[in-house]
A and B are shown apart, each in its own frame.
Chain A
Amino acid sequence: MPVPVEQYLLLGAVLFVIGMLGVLLRRNAIVIFMSIELMLNAVNLTFVALARHLDSLDGQVFVFFVMTVAAAEVAIGLALIVAIFRSLGTSDVDDAHMLRG
């Protein structure tokens, strides 16, 4: 008796919300970035679950693309974090708040 697809989707939703909380609550840039990866991962899980449910490979192809983009994003994002760290001497995102009204 396979696990119902709703369970997978629910798990994806929970992971997504946890990732979102990480973005909103943490101030360390790297942890925020990891939380974003967590959110992407949650969405991937949803894709795969629905691909299974719909008996179609399109969902899996999308996961493949999301992973590619995420990899590129990690490369750029981490470079940005390093650059910010170099100029501001901190990895606290709240210290970069010069653009305020």
Chain B
Amino acid sequence: MATLVWLILLIPLAGVVANLALAKVLPKRTAGWLATAAVGVSFALAVVLFMQARGALKEHAFVTDPLYTWVLIDTLYVPIQLLVDQLSLLMVLVVTGVGFLIHVYSNGYMAHDEGIRRYFVYLNLFVFSMLLLVLGANYVLLFTGWELVGLCSYLLISFWYTDPKNAAAGRKAFIVNRIGDFGFALGVFLIWTTFGSLVYTDVFEAAGTATPATLTLITLLLFVGATGKSAQLPLYVWLPDAMAGPTPVSALIHAATMVTAGVYMIARSHALYAAAPTTPLVVATIGALTAIFAASIAITQLDIKKVLAYSTVSQLGYMFLAVGVGAYVSAIFHLFTHAFFKALLFLGSGSVIHSMEHAAHETGEHIDPQDMRHMGGLLKRMPQTGWTFLIGAAALAGLPLTSGFFSKDEILAQTFFGGHTLLYIVGAVTAFLTAFYSFRQFFMVFTGEPRSKAAEHAHESPAVMTVPLMVLAVFALGAGLVFGLPLENGAIHHWLEPVFHDVLEHHEGGNPMFLLVISSVIALAGAGLAYAIYVLRAADPEALVARFAPLYRLSYNKFYVDELYGALFVRPFFALAAFLAFVVDKLVIDGAVNGVATILRLGSIVLRRLQMGYARAYALTMALGVLILVAYFLSGGF
């Protein structure tokens, strides 16, 4: 079993090495399939591991023997060691499974890109990093993977780095993540000083021994890291910009896997979070606020990927709400379903963009291929993409019986029964907004009349792209029914029960069916409103925009948060940097250096005259020296 775990982790890395080593030998297209095969094998092995482990894992987690002692300083011990339990195994399956489909899809999407090899090297490296993150058996390995996915994210966001906008987006992601990682690192340091170990098993066993204040501080610091990586308030700003990268990257990194690292980390550290007195409420509040905040931005966006980006932020808010109220299983469940339907939506939008781009190229139109105002009527022209996208939108909106419906409803129910009525209301309103914007998007893109020549001439993407869409659609549609039923007692709950048994609290005493009905009504109402506006034209969208102009502008401009951060942090920082560069460095530092040089130069002008080059002059100096020495000895020493 240990061998299997190591292989799952290392095969994607082998893919990276192979693609780099064989760069000169293999044709470019082969690079993609090699990388895809690496992740495919990794996924197959993960399935084998899952089959083997089902029985064995029931009792306790499986920790491999340390492969290597990375750090051993006094009592600071960091082994390279992997942990397999129900949680990490589920994450591995999601990462490699969804990752594999996205690899396949990328072969079509990136087929004509110059940098396809570089792209797949990054993608494989990303899968390796994410696997390291979820499989590592201590906080240092988690942090290593955490940083590596950050690096891959940076590399892939600015993949088309020749456009300065993309490079800027990559930098933004990197810097904002750095802020979060700083908090995370501090949290890890504090864990070390408090518990004297960084290995999960030691830390969680000792969780009760720390004072509540310390635990609160640790968990809050870790949460700061999570807000960076998982794009929560106030550090979410990088994720919408991260859409600058290729669309499959958005699907893999900024929707399905990497951004869930924060959720995974909190779920992994649930022993600490459950023991900390105030942190869960903070987490839940931030999560709920992020959810509604991002959703309110998403409803007005016109860029097909921006809508999805903000929906990702919003859905991650749900997950944090769930871990905050102690519904860890629900959070992971939502993470699980979200991975499918969000990957589906992103890949679907990628398919749309891909074909819009080609059509615009053919018709010679100069339009933004991501702007939904130029689309419309694509369902007829791209039926496979359209219908799968509809499934994804339905799952995101939480229409009854889709996967998103079960997982989201469970979070809301747990919130409600946990007594957080206010948070429940926020979550419910968000659900309404979510349903509205996801169907607004679907109707704008796929129904009605084409609003540009490119949209008229769009045609379906190749099978290599549509087949992954269909596979994902099956999961997006059925994952809830298969794994989530009966309510709060489904297969996934049983599977995760051993991990969370110590912290699971079941909020009984209400009728979940009652909430289920409310959720259904909300979702249908949101979708219905979108239908009324964008299909039936019951109210003209333009008129609505004009009527609510101030609110619309606020939402469309993302509440001016980027501008606010720019004024508060970025510009003062630039001013400070300019001051240091042009005043301190130029005048003080350079002045000191140049001053020393000037003094030496002036001194040398005088001193060099002594070096005349005449041997006799030197002999004269020597004579003077002799004279002085003799006089010295004569006088018996001065």
Chain A contacts to B: CB under 8 angstroms: 20, 23-24, 27, 32, 93-94, 96-101
* Residues in B neighbouring A101, C-beta threshold 8 A: 604, 607-613
Docked pose: A50 CA to B623 CA in angstroms: 24
* Residues in B neighbouring A98, C-beta threshold 8 A: 613
Q: Does B616 contact A (CB under 8 A)?
A: yes
Select one of A24, A93, A96 contacting B623, CB under 8 A.
Answer: A24
Q: Are B611 and A94 in contact, CB atoms less than 8 angstroms apart? A: no
**Closest residue of A by beta carbon distance from B608:** A101
Q: Are B614 and A94 in contact, CB atoms less than 8 angstroms apart? A: yes
Taking the closest CB of chain A, its distance from the CB of B621, in whole angstroms, is: 10
Docked pose: A90 CA to B16 CA in angstroms: 73
Q: Does B634 contact A (CB under 8 A)?
A: no
The 4 closest A-B pairs by CB, nearest first: A100-B613, A101-B608, A101-B611, A97-B613
**Closest residue of B by beta carbon distance from A99:** B613
Select one of B607, B612, B619, B620 contacting A100, CB under 8 A.
Answer: B612
- Give the A-B contact count at a CB cut-off of 8 A: 34
Q: Does B615 contact A (CB under 8 A)?
A: yes
Taking the closest CB of chain B, its distance from the CB of A80, in whole angstroms, is: 12
A sample of 30 inter-chain contacts (CB < 8 A) reads A20-B623, A23-B616, A23-B619, A24-B616, A24-B619, A24-B620, A24-B623, A27-B616, A32-B616, A93-B614, A93-B615, A93-B616, A94-B614, A94-B616, A96-B615, A97-B612, A97-B613, A97-B614, A97-B615, A98-B613, A99-B611, A99-B613, A100-B612, A100-B613, A100-B614, A101-B607, A101-B608, A101-B609, A101-B612, A101-B613
Taking the closest CB of chain B, its distance from the CB of A77, in whole angstroms, is: 13
* Residues in B neighbouring A94, C-beta threshold 8 A: 614, 616
Docked pose: A33 CA to B411 CA in angstroms: 105
Which of A23, A27, A99, A101 has the most CB atoms of chain B within a 10 A radius of its CB? A101
Docked pose: A24 CA to B610 CA in angstroms: 16
Contact with A along B597-634 (1 / 0, CB 8 A): 00000001001111111111001100100000000000
Chain B contacts to A: CB under 8 angstroms: 604, 607-616, 619-620, 623
* Residues in A neighbouring B607, C-beta threshold 8 A: 101
**Closest residue of B by beta carbon distance from A21:** B623
Docked pose: A99 CA to B623 CA in angstroms: 21
**Closest residue of B by beta carbon distance from A27:** B616
Docked pose: A94 CA to B604 CA in angstroms: 23
* Residues in A neighbouring B623, C-beta threshold 8 A: 20, 24
* Residues in B neighbouring A99, C-beta threshold 8 A: 611, 613
**Closest residue of B by beta carbon distance from A26:** B616
Extra contacts besides A100-B611, A101-B613 (4): CB < 8 Å: A23-B619, A24-B619, A27-B616, A97-B615
Taking the closest CB of chain A, its distance from the CB of B21, in whole angstroms, is: 56
* Residues in A neighbouring B604, C-beta threshold 8 A: 101
Docked pose: A47 CA to B170 CA in angstroms: 87
* Residues in A neighbouring B615, C-beta threshold 8 A: 93, 96-97
Docked pose: A20 CA to B613 CA in angstroms: 19
Which of A32, A93, A96, A97 has the most CB atoms of chain B within a 10 A radius of its CB? A97
Docked pose: A96 CA to B617 CA in angstroms: 12
* Residues in A neighbouring B608, C-beta threshold 8 A: 101
Taking the closest CB of chain B, its distance from the CB of A93, in whole angstroms, is: 5
Taking the closest CB of chain A, its distance from the CB of B491, in whole angstroms, is: 90
Taking the closest CB of chain B, its distance from the CB of A95, in whole angstroms, is: 10
**Closest residue of B by beta carbon distance from A32:** B616
* Residues in B neighbouring A32, C-beta threshold 8 A: 616
Taking the closest CB of chain A, its distance from the CB of B433, in whole angstroms, is: 82
* Residues in A neighbouring B609, C-beta threshold 8 A: 101
Taking the closest CB of chain A, its distance from the CB of B207, in whole angstroms, is: 75
